[in-house]
Structure 1
């Protein structure tokens, strides 16, 4: 398109703009700034968003690492886990002690496992001997009944767990061997 002169006559306004002409007339300093941009300058906004997401993911990972799974704890040479399920009007809880080392310090010692339903007076305890060989387990099974807010029929069988909108139950367990004691927390999952 041929270049047209600018006019300012009344009733006849025209203006010509050419980016190429304007860039050719620019100084060297301006040409360097307008030239090809680095990746970080070109995508500054999305990079800040990506950085924010990475920082949040890192913070969440640190939170998970620090809080950990409270239904699994360790004793020297052993792993202790606890899980529970709500079955009608009963709470069924399992505490499992697994020997991890070949020669742990507590092999053959007496272990006491206690569980209680948080916010209630339901509790149970058992004693047994720690496992003595690597890979062996000692399993404690507890029945906590009747769970608060559940209905039971005359025969003792469950007629449905109608607790309304109450949150799930939490179980606290304590495992004690000699002078070592560990506390576990786990939800009582609905059946």
Structure 2
């Protein structure tokens, strides 16, 4: 009788361990998209926010109360080691009034002899500015395919949300850096 009870307890423990391991595996797969969603919602780690045209119009209306406050925006461009592109901003810095839409332009050129698909990752520094940096349109929202020798101009339409004025973490911040890094599309063979 005691052997059956011990066997039943072992079986129950084994089932709990199995389901616990299965749950951990599921959380492991879900952690990346959940973290990405968390960063997009909160601006954590300098993740910029995506805005609609109506959001930008509302911010422009609210900008009147900003009292002419502006930020210096610095544009940074990088490429991964295996990315045979030249990538740079047309203008390295710009001064933008809070709530006012502005456009930055980057230039990318494929220096290889084959078509290359690139994906841009981005962030904003200081990290606490990410929640206030709103992009309306950006080349980083989609993959970019450049043919051999092709050069393209890629715009970013953005604004700094007037809510930045009420954020104590932004006190003393004078410059926001928008940084992009282009990577070769995963699975695309390096030439």
Higher CA-based Rg: 1
Query: Which structure: greater helix fraction?
Result: 2
TM-score (norm 1): 0.38
Q: Higher relative CO (CA 8 A, sep ≥ 6), structure 1 or 2? A: 2
